[in-house]
């Protein structure tokens, strides 16, 4: 992959683009907003304060349009939260770099480091989620590698979907994620609380469903999760999920070779 293509895919910016964008409102869910995000001026620290750490940018190419059962306003409001994770990953990296430069590894450093997992996983999981939503979808190919592996791992696509849907409807906020286990070469369903808790180390996400209430409240209200999960499945870009699965299988070969 060429360097510029790689940089685009991973959301890297050049130096001129790398200042923190303070033009949009803080995008934390209100209950999650940490006090240290208020009053931060544009460019505080700047890219030099990140000590060469790559900054991330919004993956506009992933923003879904024209979905069935998931409205444009729902997506627009949810997208603002995704933008907030990117902004705060970059902000935290800048603040941590500044503390690192001073060799100040006290309580502030510890709390920023803890917070980083929440922000990073919030960014990455939302990119997976938005990236597999596309208008005009059909069922996955019966002969494709994904469905074949779902048969081996769960007994069939419908059996997998039944379990995945049950996980997605579990009480509490979080994520339902279909992972590929590079050791057993099987697919497994998991519940991830918050963004950073419960990920099986080394497993590769293949299909990611956001079941935080902010993902469906605009369309369906606080009790609308079942309706939302049903709508989600009408919009899954199975061709892309197939590619994610194929990538996971290739990665497993590398793991096995190490």
- Window contacting Fe ion (CB under 5 A); options: 24-32, 158-166, 203-211, 221-229: 203-211
Cα gap 5→79, rounded to integer Å: 23
Q: Closest CB to Fe ion among 55 and 121?
A: 121
196 near Fe ion (CB under 5 A)? no
Q: Closest CB to Fe ion among 51 and 58?
A: 58
Closest approach, Cβ 122 to Fe ion, in A, equals 7
Q: Which residue is nearest to Fe ion (CB)?
A: 210
How many of the other CB atoms lie within 10 Å of CB of 24?
10
- Cα distances (Å, whole numbers) of residue 230 to 55, 223, 236, 254: 36, 13, 11, 36
Closest approach, Cβ 131 to Fe ion, in A, equals 13
Using CB under 5 A, which residues numbered 212 to 231 contact Fe ion? 212
Closest approach, Cβ 189 to Fe ion, in A, equals 19
User: Sign of torsion, CA 217 222 225 227?
Assistant: negative
- Strands (E) across 160-244 are located at 174-181, 186-193, 204-210
The closest of 178, 196, 174, 195 to 187, measured between CA atoms, is 178
Name the strand (E) or helix (H) holding 93: helix 72-101
Q: Closest CB to Fe ion among 212 and 228?
A: 212
Closest approach, Cβ 126 to Fe ion, in A, equals 6
Closest approach, Cβ 210 to Fe ion, in A, equals 4
Q: Closest CB to Fe ion among 122 and 140?
A: 122
Task: Say if residues 242 and 250 touch (Cβ distance below 8 Å).
Answer: no
Name which position in 119, 127, 196, 210 contacts Fe ion (CB under 5 A). 210
237: which 2 tokens? Answer: 């870009």
Q: Closest CB to Fe ion among 122 and 182?
A: 122
* Interface ranges with Fe ion (CB under 5 A): 210, 212
């Amino acid at each position: 992959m060429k360097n510029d293509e790689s940089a685009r895919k991973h959301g890297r910016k050049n130096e001129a683009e790398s200042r923190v964008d303070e033009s949009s409102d803080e995008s934390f869910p209100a209950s999650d907003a940490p006090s240290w995000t208020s009053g931060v001026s544009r460019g505080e620290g700047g890219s030099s304060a990140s000590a060469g750490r790559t900054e991330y940018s919004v993956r506009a190419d992933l923003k879904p349009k024209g979905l069935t059962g998931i409205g444009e306003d729902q997506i627009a409001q949810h997208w603002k939260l995704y933008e907030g994770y990117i902004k705060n990953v970059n902000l935290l990296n800048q603040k941590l770099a500044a503390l690192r430069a001073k060799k100040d590894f006290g309580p502030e450093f510890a709390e920023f480091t803890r917070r980083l997992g929440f922000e990073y996983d919030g960014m990455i999981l939302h990119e997976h989620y938005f990236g597999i939503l596309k208008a005009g979808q059909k069922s996955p190919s019966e002969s494709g590698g994904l469905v074949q592996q779902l048969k081996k791992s769960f007994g069939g696509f419908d059996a997998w979907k039944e379990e995945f849907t049950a996980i997605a409807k579990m009480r509490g906020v979080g994520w339902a994620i279909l992972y590929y286990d590079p050791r057993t070469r099987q697919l497994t369903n998991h519940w991830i609380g918050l963004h950073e808790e419960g990920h099986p180390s080394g497993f590769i996400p293949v299909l990611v469903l956001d079941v935080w209430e902010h993902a469906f409240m605009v369309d369906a209200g606080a009790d609308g999760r079942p309706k939302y999960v049903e709508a989600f499945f009408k919009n899954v870009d199975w061709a892309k999920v197939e590619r994610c699965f194929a990538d996971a299988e290739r990665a497993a070969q590398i793991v096995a070779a190490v």
